[in-house]
Chain A
Amino acid sequence: MTEIPERADIVVVGAGIVGNSVCHHLAELGWRNIVLIEKGPLPDPGGSTGHASNFIFPVDHSREITALTTDSMRQYEKLGTLISCGGVEVAREPARVEELKRRMASARAWGVDAELIDPGRVAELVPFVDPDILLAGFWTPSVAVVDPLRAGALMREQAIADGALTVAASTTVTGIRTDGGRVQRVCTDAGDVETSLVVVACGVWSPRIARLAGGQIPLTPAVHQMMDVGPIPEFEASGTAIAYPIVRDMDALMYERQSGADLEIGSYAHRPILHEPDEIPSLAAAALSPTQLPFTSEDFDPQLEQALELFGSILDRPDAGVRHAINGLLSLTPDGAPVLGPSPEVDGLWSAAAVWIKEGPGVGRMMAEWLTHGDCEFDMHGADIARFYPHQRTREHVRARANEGFNKTYGIVHPREQWESARGRKLSPFHARERAAGAVFFEVGGWERPHWYESNRDLLEEFGDRIHDRPHEWDARWWSPIVEAEHLALRERAAMIDLTAFAQFDVRGPGALDYLQRMTMAQLDRPVGRICYTPVLTPGGGFRSDLTVVRLAEDRFRVITGGADGARDRFWFESHLPADGSASLVDVTSAVCTLGLWGPRARDILAATTEDDVSGEAIPFGTARWIAVDGIPVLALRVSYVGDLGWELHAPFEQGQALWDAIAEAGRPHGIAPAGIGVYGTTGRLEKGYRLMGAELDAEYDPVEAGLALPKVKAADFIGKDAYLAAREGDPAATLCTLTVDDHLGAEGIPRYPQGGEPIVTPAGERIVDRKGRGSAVTSAGPAPSVGRHLLMAYLPPEFAVEGTSLQVEYMAERYPVTVARAGRTPLFDPDDTRMKA
C-alpha cells in the first residue's frame, strides 16, 4: 500500500481507462497534487478495463460519441497502444442494409472514412465468413484494437513523472465526508485525504461510491457475454494479436474478432442480466475477477448457432474449443449515454462513468477541461449527469430502461423511437382529455406529451393534398401525416398545445436581476411584464441553453425552459446563485401547467373566456399579463414558437383541466383542434426558423453562427461574454441555414424524407467542412406544410451559406438536391412575423 497524502487538490477514484485518462489530462492542464485511489492491484485492478475486447468502431449516430471516440483513437495511437485492423458491420436482413446506409450517412457527417461493400468483398476481407448468408457490409478501415491497460499505465507514468500524481493502489475508498453538501475528505482503508474535489471513475461500482457522498450516479452493472474459441491455426499462423478485420454480426447482435490464436465472440443478444453495484464480489472472492462473473451458458446457447453460421469454416472443427467464457460486467444507463460532470446533488462530486474503452481517453480530456475551465471542447449535453431528473436517477428507473435498452446495443434504433418502460411518470392535468382525443404520447423528461391526436384524422381529408404521405415505412415510423393536418388547422383557425413539460423556475430577491443578467445574453433589465427570449452561454461562448425569462415584478422573474433540458438548466442556474443569498430560485414546474393557444382565431377564442382585455394594445407581442380565464388565474404570455397569434397560458396545475375545457369550449365554434408536439417542435418551428436546443444549438456553436446574435450587447457582464464579443468581431466559420429539399424521389421510385443527422454535401458529392473542422449535417428536418416543402436546417461555411446555393443531402446512401433557402434567422413562413404580431 502506498502512503496517501493528507491533502489533495483532487482525488480520482478508480484506475480503469477512465480514471487514468482523467489524471493524465489534469496533469497536462497543470494540475498538481492529484491523488488516484484504486482498490485493486495495478496494472489490472480487476475492473471492466481488464477484460474488454478492446476494439473501437468509430462511427456512431451521435456526433458527441463519434467525436469522443475519434479523439480517443488519436490518443491511443500516440501512446503506441493502437493497432488498426479495420472492421466490417455485416447485414443478414434487409432492414439492416438500410441501417448500414444510415451509418454511412453518419460516417460522412462526422468525417470517418467508410464504405458500403457487398458480401463478396466482406469475404475477401475476412476469408472465414460465409458470404452466402450476408446481404451487405459497412467497412470502416480505421477500426482498431487498443491496449487500455498499457495506455492507462503510460498515462499514470507521465503524470507521476510530471510530479503531478500520487497513486494509491490496493487502497479502497470507504467513505466520502461532506459538510453542508460539499465534499471535504475521502476516507480509505489506508487513511483519509482532505480534498474538495472527487472524480468517481469507478465503472460499475460508481453508484456505490457516489452514494458514500450522498449522490447518485444513475447506471447499473449489466452482463455482456463473451467467449474465446480456439486454437485457430490460421490465426496462430498470422503470428500477431490481430491480422483480420473485426466483424460485427449486427443482426445476430454479436461480434467476432481474432484475439491471438482465438476467435473472440461477444453477444448483446442475451436477456438483460443486471447486477447490483453493492453485490459485485471482491477480487479475492471472485473466481476470475470482480467484473468477470461466471458464464451462464444457457444465455449464450442461441448465439452459438449464429456464430457457427457465419464462422463455421473455423469454428466447426474438433480442435477449436471454448477456452474462456465470461459474463463480463459493463455499465448501462437509462439512455445509453455516459454519465459525466459535476453532480447536481453534492458540491465537488464529479462523475466519469458509463464510458467505454473506445471513449475513455477522450472523456478524460473533456473531464479535465471541464474541471479546469468549466466547459470543454466537445458539446457534452447528452452525457451530462445533470440531464437526469430526480425520478430518472432512481434504481427503478435505471433498471427499467437498462433492461429495455440492453438489446438495442446493436439494434436498429429509429431517431424518434420511444421507450416502452417507465412510462406514464409525469402527466399534465390535460392528460385525461388528451387520451380521450386519441393522443399518441411521446416522452420528454418523463412527461407524456401528445405528439399528435388520432381524433384529428378527419383533418387529413380537409387539407387533402397539402399533406405529404410518407410511403417509406422508415420515414413514416413514429410520425403521422396528422401532424401536418394539425399544423394547417392551427394556421387556418386555431390549435391548443400542451406545454406543461416546460421546466419553470421563479427567481426572486433584491439580487435577482443582477444574477439573471449574469446568466443570460439578452438584456433582462426591461419593464415588468416584458418577455425576453435569451441564449444562455457556456464560458466558452457556446450554447448552454436558450430560454424565456418573464419579468413578473421588479425583483421577480420566471424562467421557462424546455422539458428536455430542464434538469440541466436548473442545476446550472442553482449552482450560480449569488453566495450572499440576494436571489433565490424555486422550481415551480410541478405547480404550473401550460396550454398554448395559437392561430388566427386565438384572440376571439381567448376573449370569449375572459372579461380581461386581450387586445394587441392590452397585451402587445412580447409581454405577459395576468388574466382570468373562466375564473382561473392565468399568466398569459404573448409569444409563439409556432409563429402565430396567441399565447402561452400558464395556470395553477390543479386548474389545468378546467382551463383546457374552457378553451376547448370557446374554441369549438372556431374549429379549434388540439395539436401535438409534432407541430410545436417540428413543423411550426421549422417554417418559422426557430432553433432548438440540442439540435441547432449546442456548446460547439455560438450565437453569431446560430443567427441569434442581438443588435446590441448589454453592458452587464455575463457568462460567455468575452467569447461572444470575439465571435461578433470575426466572421463566423459557419452560418445556420434553412434548406429546401428540391426532389424527394429516391431510387426505389418513391419519395424519401430525410430525418435529421444526414450530411450536406456539395453538388459533386464532397463533404462540407468549415474552417473549425466541423462537418455540415442536418440538425433538424421536417415538413413545412404552410410552405409546402420539406425543410432542413444545417450549419454551412460562408461560401455555401448563400441563399440560392444548390447542394445535396445524403440520405440512405442516396443524394437529393437541396437549395439554401435562408442563410440566417429569417423564417420562410411569414418572414415579417405579421401573423404573430397581429
Chain B
Amino acid sequence: MDIVVCIKRVPAFGAQVPLTDDGLAVDTRHLGFTIGPHEECAVEEAVRLAAAHGGRVTVLTVGPEEAGEQLRYALAMGAHQGVLVDTGTTDLDPEATATAVLAGLADEPAPDLLLFGDASADAGHGQVGVRVALACGLPIVGGVTGIEAESGAVPENGAVAENGAVTENGATLRATRDTPGGTEVFGLSVPAAVAVKEGLNLPRYPTLPGRLKAKKAALRTVTCGPEPGGLRTLGLRRPADDRAGAIPLGRGADAAPAVVDVLAELGKV
C-alpha cells in the first residue's frame, strides 16, 4: 500500500505563545519546530502499514526550505521519501495550502492512502485534508483514532482483496473514531483519504541509524506560489493570563483539610 502523509512544520511552544510586536504572527526566534502530534501519529501509522503490508511511504510538506527538517524527521521514523513543496512560508490559508499539496502530489504516483493530521497544530483550520481529498475525488474520514487494514487484503489499484476478508461495500480499511456516544467504524475502499488524531498510536522515536539515513536522503522539491485563498489573519491576541500562580495549601499533613475543601469545591468528593 503506497501512502502519502501530509505534515506541517509548526513551532514547538512552551506554556506561553510568544507573539511578534505587530501581533500578526507567532514570534519563533527562540522556538524550535516540530510536526504536530496528529501528524506524528499519521507518519507512525503509515510506517506501520507499509511495514505490515508492503508499499512506500512518502511524506509531503508545504512550507519554507527549512521544513526539510520535518521531512527528515519523518524519514528517520521510517518514511521512504520526502517531497517539499517550497512556498517560502507555512503561513498560507487552507485553500492555498491545499493547492500547494496538490502541486506536490501531481508528479507522484497516485497513492492508495492519503493521510493527514486532523488539524494543524498551529492554525488548526482542519480544512486541508478535506479540500485535497475533494480535489482528488477521494472519500475522506476525519477524526480517526484507529486504522486497520484487512491483512493480506491490500489491493492492487483498488481491487478487492483475494482472501475475501471484505467489510461492507468491499472496503479494505477500517477506520474508527471515538464519539461521546461510542465508537464509529468506517469501512473504506482505497484509494481513500484519512485525517487522524493523536491517540491513534504511540509514535516511535527515530533511531540513530534512522537519523543518519534521513540526513543523507535526497528530498524532491517542488516550487509553488499558490494564489491566496479567502482567509486572512487580521491579528493575534494572547488570552488574558488568568492562570493564578501555584497557591500553597499548607505544609505536610496540615494541608489535608484545605485539599479536601478544594476537592469538594470541584465536585470531586
Q: Which one of A1, A41, A295, A322 lies within 8 Å of B32 (CB-CB)?
A: A295
* Chain B residue contacts of A295, Cβ below 8 A: 32
B207, A317: Cβ atoms closer than 8 Å? yes
A322, B215: Cβ atoms closer than 8 Å? no
* Chain B residue contacts of A288, Cβ below 8 A: 14
* Chain B residue contacts of A41, Cβ below 8 A: 246
A171 to chain B, nearest CB (A): 11
* Chain A residue contacts of B209, Cβ below 8 A: 308, 315-316
B208, A285: Cβ atoms closer than 8 Å? no
Q: Which one of A1, A307, A321 lies within 8 Å of B206 (CB-CB)?
A: A321
Report Cα–Cα, A283/B16, bound state, in Å.
9
A294, B16: Cβ atoms closer than 8 Å? no
Q: What mask results when residues 285 to 315 of chain A are scored 1 for a CB within 8 Å of chain B, else 0?
A: 1111000011101100100110110000001
**Given contact pairs A170-B245, A284-B16, A287-B31, A320 touches B211 in the complex (Cβ within 8 A):** no
- Count A-B pairs with CB separation below 8 Å: 74
A316, B208: Cβ atoms closer than 8 Å? yes
- Chain B 181-221 residues near chain A, CB threshold 8 A: 204-212, 215
- Chain A 162-205 residues near chain B, CB threshold 8 A: 170
* Chain B residue contacts of A281, Cβ below 8 A: 14, 18, 30
Any B CB within 8 A of the CB of A279: yes
**Given contact pairs A281-B30, A285-B30, A287-B32, A322 touches B12 in the complex (Cβ within 8 A):** no
B12, A294: Cβ atoms closer than 8 Å? yes
Q: What mask results when residues 209 to 239 of chain A are scored 1 for a CB within 8 Å of chain B, else 0?
A: 0000000000000000000010000000000
* Chain A residue contacts of B215, Cβ below 8 A: 298, 301
A297, B69: Cβ atoms closer than 8 Å? yes
Q: What mask results when residues 34 to 48 of chain A are scored 1 for a CB within 8 Å of chain B, else 0?
A: 000000010000000
Q: What mask results when residues 219 to 234 of chain B are scored 1 for a CB within 8 Å of chain A, else 0?
A: 0000000000000000
Report Cα–Cα, A433/B262, bound state, in Å.
82
Tally chain B residues at the interface, Cβ within 8 Å. Answer: 25
A286, B14: Cβ atoms closer than 8 Å? yes
B208, A307: Cβ atoms closer than 8 Å? yes
Any B CB within 8 A of the CB of A318: yes
Q: Which one of B13, B14, B212 lies within 8 Å of A304 (CB-CB)?
A: B212
B211, A322: Cβ atoms closer than 8 Å? yes
**Given contact pairs A315-B208, A321-B207, A293 touches B14 in the complex (Cβ within 8 A):** no
* Chain A residue contacts of B210, Cβ below 8 A: 321
Tally chain A residues at the interface, Cβ within 8 Å. Answer: 32
Any B CB within 8 A of the CB of A323: yes
* Chain B residue contacts of A315, Cβ below 8 A: 207-209
A284, B14: Cβ atoms closer than 8 Å? yes
Report Cα–Cα, A318/B209, bound state, in Å.
9
Q: Which one of A283, A285, A293, A318 lies within 8 Å of B207 (CB-CB)?
A: A318
- Chain A 258-301 residues near chain B, CB threshold 8 A: 279, 281-288, 293-295, 297-298, 301
Q: Which one of A285, A307, A319, A321 lies within 8 Å of B16 (CB-CB)?
A: A285
A229, B14: Cβ atoms closer than 8 Å? no
Report Cα–Cα, A315/B210, bound state, in Å.
11
Any A CB within 8 A of the CB of B15: yes
User: Of A283, A286, A319, which is in contact with the most chain B CB atoms at under 10 Å from its CB?
Assistant: A286
A283, B206: Cβ atoms closer than 8 Å? no
B30, A320: Cβ atoms closer than 8 Å? no
User: Of B12, B30, B210, B245, which is in contact with the most chain A CB atoms at under 10 Å from its CB?
Assistant: B30
Q: Which one of A282, A301, A319 lies within 8 Å of B212 (CB-CB)?
A: A301
B211, A297: Cβ atoms closer than 8 Å? yes
B44 to chain A, nearest CB (A): 11
**Given contact pairs A286-B14, A287-B31, A323 touches B205 in the complex (Cβ within 8 A):** yes
* Chain B residue contacts of A321, Cβ below 8 A: 204-207, 210
User: Of A295, A315, A322, which is in contact with the most chain B CB atoms at under 10 Å from its CB?
Assistant: A322
Chain B residue with Cβ nearest A305? B212
B12 to chain A, nearest CB (A): 5
A172 to chain B, nearest CB (A): 13
A287, B12: Cβ atoms closer than 8 Å? yes
A486 to chain B, nearest CB (A): 54
Report Cα–Cα, A320/B29, bound state, in Å.
31
Report Cα–Cα, A322/B209, bound state, in Å.
11
**Given contact pairs A281-B30, A286-B30, A305-B212, A322 touches B14 in the complex (Cβ within 8 A):** no
B207, A320: Cβ atoms closer than 8 Å? yes
B14, A285: Cβ atoms closer than 8 Å? yes
**Given contact pairs A287-B12, A316-B209, A293 touches B32 in the complex (Cβ within 8 A):** yes
Report Cα–Cα, A170/B248, bound state, in Å.
13
* Chain A residue contacts of B33, Cβ below 8 A: 294
* Chain A residue contacts of B69, Cβ below 8 A: 297
* Chain A residue contacts of B206, Cβ below 8 A: 321-322
Q: What mask results when residues 10 to 53 of chain B are scored 1 for a CB within 8 Å of chain A, else 0?
A: 00111110100000000001111100000000000000000000
Report Cα–Cα, A323/B13, bound state, in Å.
18
Report Cα–Cα, A471/B30, bound state, in Å.
52
- Chain B 210-269 residues near chain A, CB threshold 8 A: 210-212, 215, 245-246
Chain B residue with Cβ nearest A288? B14
B261 to chain A, nearest CB (A): 22
* Chain A residue contacts of B14, Cβ below 8 A: 281, 283-288
Q: List 23 A-B contacts (CB under 8 A).
A: A279-B30, A281-B18, A282-B16, A285-B14, A285-B16, A286-B14, A287-B12, A287-B13, A287-B14, A287-B31, A287-B32, A297-B69, A297-B211, A305-B212, A316-B207, A316-B208, A317-B207, A320-B207, A320-B208, A321-B206, A321-B210, A322-B208, A323-B205
Given contacts A41-B246, A229-B208, A301-B211, 12 further A-B contacts (CB under 8 A): A1-B245, A281-B18, A283-B15, A285-B18, A287-B14, A294-B31, A294-B32, A304-B211, A316-B207, A321-B205, A321-B206, A323-B205
A interface with B by C-beta (< 8 Å): 1, 41, 170, 229, 279, 281-288, 293-295, 297-298, 301, 304-305, 307-308, 315-323
